Chains A and B, each alone.
Chain A
Amino acid sequence: MHKPRKLTTFGILLRLLLLITAVSAQFSIKARYWDQYYPETVIVDYSDLLLQSVPDQVKGMSAGLMRLTADEYMHIGPYKKARQNFIAGSYAGNTEIMTLLRLALYLEPTHIDTYTIMSQNLAMYLDRFEEGIRLLQQGILANKQAPELHKLYAAGAYCHGFAESYTYSSSQPIKNNREVALNYLEAAIKSYEAQAMYLASDSYDVFANIDNYRLLKSRFLLDVGKREEALAAWRLVPAQNRSGLLATYFSLLEQGVDVPATPEQMFDEILKSSTKTEKEPPYQLPDGWYQTLFVEPADTFKAVANILDRSSAAQVDELNPFATSKAGISDQSTDEQHKHEEDDTCGHTNHSEHDCPHHHNTGNEWPIFKEARAAILQAALMFVCGLGIRRFFTRR
């Protein structure tokens, strides 16, 4: 008969030693290599702590689904039956997406773009300036080492710098605070420069880039009365980004012309002088200066595409909505092409069935049957099979 071995003191001590080793190793690993296990996410309450226990892959996938759904909602627009104050195709003022994006941030607090979209929406369009800025600060705290951290600082600068334009007609108008905006911009520039080597070349952002930050900085410095510093910042702005009234203003400033405090004041003086009721200003503008006030959208589009270096000039023209619309007009105007359209018997490959009028079914086919032909066939087949089985295979 099998007899169990007696527990000895040595055996107990050995087991205790093993347990202590395991526990100390467990705590040492998490204490020493904490960055391997805990992200930068700030853990404020028990819900944050609970979320830490869910695998990152699951959280990331769920957050991705929520962002996709939010994107879909944005494209669909408002619900017609409910009175909602936003339009399809824009995040601005969209209230439907906010809950989804907030949940996505709980699950994945490292997604920078979600913070920028939400904070600007809250601060600019939804009368929730403080909540917007607080969210940005949470994002900054949760992504201290992220290469795209500059976007969050830039979003803060944008909110503080331009809030007035968006909220002047709201119940809680916000005054622009260019001093605070400058602090955010400085932080954005520093962050961008520090992380430049980690920023992928294909992640060029039309707004959130170093050139725009410098441009904004020069403008904001002017607004707070630091003209010399503004000029110094302007000198760092590349030539292709210099356009409009601001470029004219700084150009005159560089030439040593005595210009008013802001470009807007200069513009007012020019307008007044054109009515000949007052004395002419002490400076002259170059010929055709007013052209720089306007930016040709097609040129901007090309410039962006060239910076992205993703497409050839021909492709750029193809994508350019202005060029396409012009081409469309010219196409319609030529008789020869009219004739081609009439003679064309759907040999073209680019037309989808719905777009091409030749593919439209102009016959008298009943649309219900056209839509559900497969379903009807399947139903009929199953019905016949069911009857057959019932008839031949049932035991009587």
Chain B
Amino acid sequence: MTFGGFKSSCLISGSIAYYSFLEALRNRLFLGMILLAIPLSSAAWLLDTYQLGFQVRLVTDAGLTLISLIGLLVVLFFSLDQIIPDIEKRTIYFVITRAPSRHVYMAGRFGGIALTLLFLDLLLGSLLFAILRMQAGVWLLEIPVAMFMVFLKQLLLVSVVMMLAACSTKIITVSLSVLFYVIGHGLDIFRMLAERKGNLLLTWLSDIFIFILPDFSLYETRVMVMHEIPARGSALLLLGLYTMAAVFFYLSLGGAALDRRDL
């Protein structure tokens, strides 16, 4: 591929991402989620039954959990809305006739969801950060770091969902995505259980799964935030590297599947 071709692919991908982002912003479901999340995030002090004051740990913990949960819902609903409806409504033809390859289309759609998630995380994360600053008077720098990790986790999940959406139906995509998400949080535990069982085949299989399935437990922020463990730049860098590699892997798989799909 020449530099000009690469530049053109990037531009097309970027414009698909931009319009996907606009499409998501105009979606009523997304607005509903934001409208639900904002009062929930801001209502932290309403839980103060005995007027004991603002509880930093509780609000941080509940806020991050809420943001993560809402992000998960956005990923599941909006990633599905990117490819499958396009194929069903045949609108994909208009895009792929102008795009150099289906990979570009997929990258653009992924970029759209990534922008949407970035917008959501920035909005909710800033809100939580501001609430904590105003109420507790502390700069909780763990929050932006945690939000960054949550964002990376969501990107990885989006890539998995898009890979599945490129080659299967909606119901299978949702089921498998949830399954991967759940298993991805406990890969080490499954590996340990298999090893303890003493079954070589199971251990070997779990080893394979560890290498193929995404490891979502790497993105756990709770211990770091709750125990006030300072984030290390090298760890974040490695996490970013892992995410980018894994995202590229799953998207390329999805792109290859979409490429071979008879539309």
A interface vs B, CB < 8 Å? 69, 72-73, 76, 79-82, 84, 95-96, 98-100, 102-103, 122, 126, 128, 131, 368, 371-372, 374-383, 385-386, 389-390, 393-395
Cβ-closest chain B residue relative to A393? B256
Query: Given that A378-B210, A386-B245 are known contacts, is A99 also in contact with B238, CB under 8 Å in the complex?
Result: no
Report how far A80 CA is from B215 CA in the complex, Å.
Answer: 31
Residues in A neighbouring B215, C-beta threshold 8 A: 374-375, 378
Stretch among B18-26, B44-52, B70-78, B110-118 lining the A interface: B44-52
B contact face: mostly helix, strand, loop, or mixed = helix
Q: Which of B48, B61, B238, B260 contacts A372 (CB 8 A)?
A: B238
Contacts of B241 in A (CB 8 A): 376, 379
Can you name 8 extra interface pairs (CB under 8 A) apart from A99-B48, A376-B241? A73-B57, A95-B55, A374-B215, A375-B215, A376-B238, A378-B211, A382-B249, A386-B252
List B contacts of A372 (CB < 8 A): 235, 238, 242
Q: CB distance A379 to B228 under 8 Å?
A: no
B59 smallest CB distance to A (angstroms):
9
Give B24-69 interface residues, CB cut-off 8 Å to A.
47-50, 52-53, 55-58, 61
In contact, A394 and B259 (Cβ under 8 angstroms): yes
Known contacts A76-B57, A99-B49, A394-B259, A376 near B242 by CB under 8 Å:
yes
- In angstroms, Cα B234 to Cα A350, docked, is 33
Report B62-98 residues with CB < 8 Å from chain A CB: none
Bound: A228/B129 CA distance, A: 64
The total of Cβ contacts below 8 Å across the A-B interface reads 109
Across the interface, B227 reaches (CB within 8 A) one of A76, A390, A395, namely A76
Q: Does B131 count as interface, using CB distance less than 8 angstroms?
A: no
Which residues of A sit under 8 angstroms from B239, Cβ to Cβ?
375
| A-contact 0/1 string along B231-250, CB 8 Å cutoff | 00011001101100110110
Q: Is the CB–CB distance between A389 and B252 below 8 Å? A: yes
Chain B residues within an 8 Å CB radius of A380: 245
Could you tell me the distance in whole angstroms from the C-beta of B206 to the nearest C-beta in chain A? 13
- Judge whether B49 and A98 touch: CB under 8 Å: yes
Q: Can you list 9 A-B contacts with CB-CB less than 8 angstroms, sorted by A residue number?
A: A76-B57, A98-B49, A102-B50, A376-B238, A382-B246, A389-B249, A393-B259, A394-B255, A395-B259
| Interface residue SS majority, chain A | helix
Q: How far is the CB of B159 from chain A (nearest CB, A)?
A: 11
Q: How far is the CB of A118 from chain B (nearest CB, A)?
A: 9
| Given A99-B58, A368-B234, residue A386 in contact with residue B49 (CB < 8 A) | no
Interface size class of B (residues with CB under 8 A): 35 or more
Question: Which residues between 210 and 239 of chain B lie within 8 Å of chain A, taking CB atoms?
Answer: 210-211, 215, 218, 226-228, 234-235, 238-239
Give the complex CA separation of A99 and B53 in angstroms: 11
Most buried by A among B50, B234, B251, B255: B50
Q: Are B249 and A385 in contact (CB under 8 A)?
A: yes
Distance of A107 from chain B, by nearest CB (Å): 14
Interface 1/0 per residue, B129-148 and A, CB below 8 Å = 00000001011100000000
List B residues 120-170 near A (Cβ within 8 Å). Answer: 136, 138-140
Pairwise interchain contact B211-A381, C-beta atoms closer than 8 A: yes
A193 to chain B, nearest CB (A): 34
CA distance in complex: A383, B226 (Å): 33
Q: Do A80 and B228 touch across chains, with their CB atoms under 8 A apart?
A: yes
**A-B pairs with the 3 shortest C-beta distances?**
A382-B249, A379-B245, A383-B245
Assess the B248–A382 pair: CB atoms within 8 A.
yes
